[in-house]
């Protein structure tokens, strides 16, 4: 014996467009999908449904350029000047 199943019927608003209409109104169809609306595009009897996926953007971790820093540079006794292709170090302590 098969147990009865409750069936719910939903009234779903759907935007429909042909492929030619979709080309003309592509940005508005994408906006509708982003708002959560169902968007269907039909071409030669095949239905394509658009839906938006919201993903978080993640930043790639950048490896530090310098792995070891000299304590004299860290304390401010030395600094460097940088030009494309050239790094020069200079002493920041006062000379007598």
Q: Which pLDDT band, with edges at 50, 70 and 90, does 12 fall under?
A: low
Q: Which residue has the tokens 């302590």?
A: 93
Name every residue whose Cβ is closer than 8 Å to that of residue 90 and which is 6 or more positions away in sequence. 78, 79, 80, 81
What is the value of pTM for the model shown? 0.45
How confident is the model over 29-50, as pLDDT tens digits? 888 888 888 888 889 989 988 8
Residue 54's Cβ-side half-sphere holds a number of Cα atoms within 13 Å equal to 5
pLDDT at 20 over 70: yes
Domains of the chain from N-terminus onward: 14-50 (3.40.1620.10)
Which uninterrupted H or E stretch holds 31? Answer: helix 26-34
Mean pLDDT computed over 84-91: 84
């Amino acid at each position: 014996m098969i147990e009865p199943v409750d069936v719910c019927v939903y009234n779903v608003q759907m935007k429909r467009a042909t492929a030619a209409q979709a080309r003309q109104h592509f940005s508005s169809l994408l906006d509708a999908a982003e708002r959560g609306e169902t968007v269907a595009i039909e071409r030669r009897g095949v239905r394509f449904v658009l839906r938006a996926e919201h993903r978080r953007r993640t930043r790639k971790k950048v490896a530090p350029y310098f792995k070891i820093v000299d304590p004299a540079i860290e304390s401010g006794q030395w600094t460097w000047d940088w030009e494309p292709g050239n790094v020069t170090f200079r002493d920041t302590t006062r000379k007598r």
